Structure 1
Amino acid sequence: MQAGNPYAGEVALVIDGQRHVLRLTLGALAELEAGMQAGSLMDLVQRFENARFSTRDVLALIVAGLRGGGWQGRAEDLMQADIEGGPMAASRAAARLLTLAFALPEGAE
Protein backbone atom coordinates (compact mmCIF):
# COMPACT_ATOMS: atom_id res chain seq x y z
CA MET A 1 0.00 0.00 0.00
CA GLN A 2 1.38 3.36 -0.97
CA ALA A 3 0.70 6.45 1.11
CA GLY A 4 -1.94 9.00 0.20
CA ASN A 5 -2.38 12.40 1.83
CA PRO A 6 -3.62 11.64 5.38
CA TYR A 7 -4.56 15.30 5.94
CA ALA A 8 -7.08 14.93 3.10
CA GLY A 9 -8.22 11.52 4.40
CA GLU A 10 -6.57 9.76 1.48
CA VAL A 11 -5.22 6.23 1.25
CA ALA A 12 -3.51 4.93 -1.88
CA LEU A 13 -3.92 1.38 -3.13
CA VAL A 14 -2.55 -0.26 -6.28
CA ILE A 15 -5.20 -2.25 -8.12
CA ASP A 16 -4.34 -4.11 -11.33
CA GLY A 17 -1.07 -2.19 -11.48
CA GLN A 18 -2.72 1.24 -11.28
CA ARG A 19 -2.43 3.52 -8.25
CA HIS A 20 -5.79 4.69 -6.93
CA VAL A 21 -6.43 7.32 -4.27
CA LEU A 22 -9.23 6.34 -1.91
CA ARG A 23 -11.11 8.82 0.27
CA LEU A 24 -14.27 8.51 2.34
CA THR A 25 -16.17 11.65 1.42
CA LEU A 26 -19.53 12.37 3.03
CA GLY A 27 -21.23 11.06 -0.10
CA ALA A 28 -19.12 7.89 -0.08
CA LEU A 29 -19.94 7.35 3.60
CA ALA A 30 -23.66 7.84 2.92
CA GLU A 31 -23.51 5.34 0.05
CA LEU A 32 -21.59 2.90 2.25
CA GLU A 33 -24.14 3.20 5.05
CA ALA A 34 -27.07 2.78 2.63
CA GLY A 35 -25.49 -0.38 1.22
CA MET A 36 -24.77 -2.00 4.56
CA GLN A 37 -26.91 -5.06 5.20
CA ALA A 38 -26.96 -4.58 8.96
CA GLY A 39 -25.79 -2.12 11.54
CA SER A 40 -24.41 1.38 11.28
CA LEU A 41 -21.11 2.98 10.40
CA MET A 42 -20.18 2.94 14.08
CA ASP A 43 -20.81 -0.83 14.13
CA LEU A 44 -18.42 -1.09 11.19
CA VAL A 45 -15.80 0.99 13.01
CA GLN A 46 -16.13 -1.26 16.06
CA ARG A 47 -15.72 -4.41 13.96
CA PHE A 48 -12.43 -3.04 12.62
CA GLU A 49 -11.28 -1.90 16.07
CA ASN A 50 -11.93 -5.41 17.40
CA ALA A 51 -10.50 -7.18 14.31
CA ARG A 52 -13.90 -8.81 13.70
CA PHE A 53 -14.50 -7.45 10.20
CA SER A 54 -15.47 -9.54 7.19
CA THR A 55 -14.14 -9.54 3.65
CA ARG A 56 -17.50 -7.98 2.71
CA ASP A 57 -16.69 -5.09 5.09
CA VAL A 58 -13.26 -4.64 3.47
CA LEU A 59 -14.72 -4.70 -0.04
CA ALA A 60 -17.47 -2.22 0.87
CA LEU A 61 -14.93 0.22 2.33
CA ILE A 62 -12.57 -0.13 -0.63
CA VAL A 63 -15.43 0.52 -3.07
CA ALA A 64 -16.65 3.52 -1.04
CA GLY A 65 -13.10 4.90 -0.85
CA LEU A 66 -12.58 4.44 -4.57
CA ARG A 67 -15.87 6.19 -5.28
CA GLY A 68 -14.87 9.03 -2.94
CA GLY A 69 -11.70 9.29 -5.00
CA GLY A 70 -13.67 9.59 -8.25
CA TRP A 71 -13.80 5.96 -9.42
CA GLN A 72 -16.96 5.04 -11.33
CA GLY A 73 -16.77 1.25 -11.03
CA ARG A 74 -18.80 -1.30 -9.08
CA ALA A 75 -17.90 -3.83 -6.40
CA GLU A 76 -18.18 -6.59 -9.02
CA ASP A 77 -15.32 -4.95 -10.93
CA LEU A 78 -12.99 -5.76 -8.03
CA MET A 79 -13.87 -9.45 -7.70
CA GLN A 80 -11.03 -10.55 -10.01
CA ALA A 81 -8.77 -7.53 -9.45
CA ASP A 82 -5.17 -7.91 -8.33
CA ILE A 83 -4.59 -5.75 -5.26
CA GLU A 84 -0.91 -5.11 -4.63
CA GLY A 85 -0.16 -6.65 -1.24
CA GLY A 86 -3.21 -8.91 -1.40
CA PRO A 87 -6.01 -9.16 1.15
CA MET A 88 -3.84 -7.85 3.99
CA ALA A 89 -3.08 -4.63 2.11
CA ALA A 90 -6.77 -4.24 1.28
CA SER A 91 -7.67 -4.75 4.97
CA ARG A 92 -5.06 -2.22 6.10
CA ALA A 93 -6.30 0.30 3.52
CA ALA A 94 -9.91 -0.16 4.65
CA ALA A 95 -8.97 0.26 8.32
CA ARG A 96 -6.89 3.35 7.51
CA LEU A 97 -9.80 4.88 5.59
CA LEU A 98 -12.03 4.51 8.64
CA THR A 99 -9.37 5.94 10.93
CA LEU A 100 -8.85 8.98 8.73
CA ALA A 101 -12.58 9.53 8.24
CA PHE A 102 -13.31 9.70 11.96
CA ALA A 103 -10.11 11.07 13.51
CA LEU A 104 -7.42 13.65 12.76
CA PRO A 105 -4.09 12.26 11.54
CA GLU A 106 -1.42 11.83 14.19
CA GLY A 107 0.24 15.12 15.09
CA ALA A 108 -2.65 17.22 13.79
CA GLU A 109 -4.64 19.49 16.02
Structure 2
Amino acid sequence: MGARANRHRGEIEAHLDGQMRVLCLTLGALAELETAFAVDSLTGLAERFSSGRLRADDLIRIIGAGLRGAGNLFSDEDVAGMAVADGLAGFARIAAELLHATFGPGGEAASPRP
Protein backbone atom coordinates (compact mmCIF):
# COMPACT_ATOMS: atom_id res chain seq x y z
CA MET A 1 0.00 0.00 0.00
CA GLY A 2 1.45 3.40 -1.02
CA ALA A 3 1.63 6.59 0.95
CA ARG A 4 -1.53 8.62 1.32
CA ALA A 5 -1.68 12.40 1.14
CA ASN A 6 -3.03 14.36 4.09
CA ARG A 7 -4.85 17.38 2.62
CA HIS A 8 -4.92 19.04 6.06
CA ARG A 9 -1.11 19.26 5.85
CA GLY A 10 -1.20 20.57 2.27
CA GLU A 11 -0.19 17.24 0.74
CA ILE A 12 -1.36 15.95 -2.63
CA GLU A 13 -0.92 12.69 -4.50
CA ALA A 14 0.25 12.49 -8.10
CA HIS A 15 1.24 9.76 -10.55
CA LEU A 16 4.84 10.42 -11.60
CA ASP A 17 6.73 7.87 -13.68
CA GLY A 18 3.97 5.34 -13.10
CA GLN A 19 4.09 5.55 -9.30
CA MET A 20 1.82 7.37 -6.90
CA ARG A 21 3.85 9.97 -5.00
CA VAL A 22 3.00 12.37 -2.20
CA LEU A 23 4.03 16.02 -2.66
CA CYS A 24 3.99 18.84 -0.10
CA LEU A 25 5.31 22.38 -0.12
CA THR A 26 6.68 22.50 3.42
CA LEU A 27 8.24 25.64 4.83
CA GLY A 28 11.64 24.35 3.70
CA ALA A 29 10.32 23.64 0.20
CA LEU A 30 8.82 27.14 0.04
CA ALA A 31 12.15 28.65 1.12
CA GLU A 32 13.80 26.64 -1.67
CA LEU A 33 11.32 28.12 -4.17
CA GLU A 34 11.80 31.67 -2.83
CA THR A 35 15.51 31.31 -3.59
CA ALA A 36 14.96 29.64 -6.97
CA PHE A 37 12.53 32.36 -8.10
CA ALA A 38 14.45 35.24 -6.47
CA VAL A 39 11.51 36.57 -4.48
CA ASP A 40 11.76 37.99 -0.98
CA SER A 41 8.53 36.74 0.61
CA LEU A 42 5.78 34.15 0.48
CA THR A 43 3.52 36.85 -0.91
CA GLY A 44 6.01 37.43 -3.72
CA LEU A 45 6.04 33.70 -4.40
CA ALA A 46 2.23 33.54 -4.48
CA GLU A 47 2.13 36.56 -6.82
CA ARG A 48 4.67 34.90 -9.12
CA PHE A 49 2.58 31.75 -9.32
CA SER A 50 -0.76 33.52 -9.70
CA SER A 51 0.47 35.28 -12.85
CA GLY A 52 -0.57 32.19 -14.80
CA ARG A 53 2.62 32.35 -16.86
CA LEU A 54 4.67 29.37 -15.72
CA ARG A 55 7.54 27.98 -17.78
CA ALA A 56 8.52 24.31 -18.00
CA ASP A 57 11.43 25.05 -15.62
CA ASP A 58 8.94 26.50 -13.14
CA LEU A 59 6.87 23.31 -13.21
CA ILE A 60 10.00 21.21 -12.65
CA ARG A 61 11.05 23.34 -9.66
CA ILE A 62 7.58 23.38 -8.08
CA ILE A 63 7.06 19.63 -8.46
CA GLY A 64 10.63 18.88 -7.38
CA ALA A 65 10.28 21.02 -4.24
CA GLY A 66 6.94 19.34 -3.50
CA LEU A 67 8.46 15.89 -3.82
CA ARG A 68 11.40 16.80 -1.58
CA GLY A 69 9.05 18.48 0.90
CA ALA A 70 7.22 15.17 1.28
CA GLY A 71 10.48 13.28 1.83
CA ASN A 72 11.12 11.99 -1.70
CA LEU A 73 14.75 12.20 -2.77
CA PHE A 74 14.44 13.49 -6.33
CA SER A 75 16.52 16.24 -7.90
CA ASP A 76 15.04 18.71 -10.36
CA GLU A 77 16.95 16.79 -13.05
CA ASP A 78 15.12 13.61 -11.98
CA VAL A 79 11.78 15.43 -12.23
CA ALA A 80 12.67 16.76 -15.70
CA GLY A 81 13.02 13.18 -16.92
CA MET A 82 9.78 11.87 -15.40
CA ALA A 83 6.73 10.92 -17.42
CA VAL A 84 3.23 12.04 -16.49
CA ALA A 85 -0.10 11.15 -18.06
CA ASP A 86 -1.19 13.96 -20.40
CA GLY A 87 2.39 15.27 -20.71
CA LEU A 88 2.75 19.00 -20.17
CA ALA A 89 -0.91 19.38 -19.20
CA GLY A 90 -0.42 16.69 -16.54
CA PHE A 91 2.62 18.47 -15.10
CA ALA A 92 0.70 21.77 -15.07
CA ARG A 93 -2.24 20.12 -13.30
CA ILE A 94 0.04 18.63 -10.61
CA ALA A 95 1.75 21.98 -10.00
CA ALA A 96 -1.61 23.80 -9.88
CA GLU A 97 -3.05 21.29 -7.42
CA LEU A 98 0.04 21.54 -5.22
CA LEU A 99 -0.05 25.35 -5.24
CA HIS A 100 -3.78 25.31 -4.48
CA ALA A 101 -3.19 22.94 -1.53
CA THR A 102 -0.48 25.27 -0.22
CA PHE A 103 -1.82 28.75 -0.91
CA GLY A 104 -5.54 28.05 -0.97
CA PRO A 105 -8.26 29.05 -3.41
CA GLY A 106 -7.25 32.72 -3.49
CA GLY A 107 -3.67 31.87 -4.43
CA GLU A 108 -2.30 33.89 -1.54
CA ALA A 109 -0.17 32.64 1.32
CA ALA A 110 -2.07 32.39 4.55
CA SER A 111 -1.32 35.29 6.87
CA PRO A 112 -0.35 34.51 10.45
CA ARG A 113 -3.09 35.33 12.93
CA PRO A 114 -2.20 37.68 15.81
Q: Deviations over 1:28-48 (max 9, x none)?
A: 111121222x43554443344
Q: Does 1:59 align with 2:30?
A: no
State the partner residue of 1:27: 28
1:40-98 residue CA offsets vs partner (Å, 9 max, x unmatched): 55444334433211111111100010001111121111222111232112112112222
Unaligned runs of 5+ in 1: 105-109
Decide whether the 8 Å contact of 1:10 with 1:23 is kept in 2: yes
Unmatched runs of 5 consecutive residues or more in structure 2: 106-114
Q: Aligned residues, how many?
A: 101
Identical aligned residues as a percent = 41
User: Structure 2 CA distance, aligned partners of 1:87 and 1:42?
Assistant: 26
After superposition, the Cα gap between the structure-2 partners of 1:56 and 1:103, relative to the gap in structure 1 and judged at 3 Å, is same
Give SS of 1:14's match: strand
TM superposition score normalised by structure 1: 0.77
**In structure 2, how many angstroms separate the alpha carbons of the residues matched to 1:26 and 1:65?**
11
**Superposition CA RMSD, Å:** 2.2
* TM-score using structure 2 length: 0.74
4+ runs deviating over 4 angstroms: none
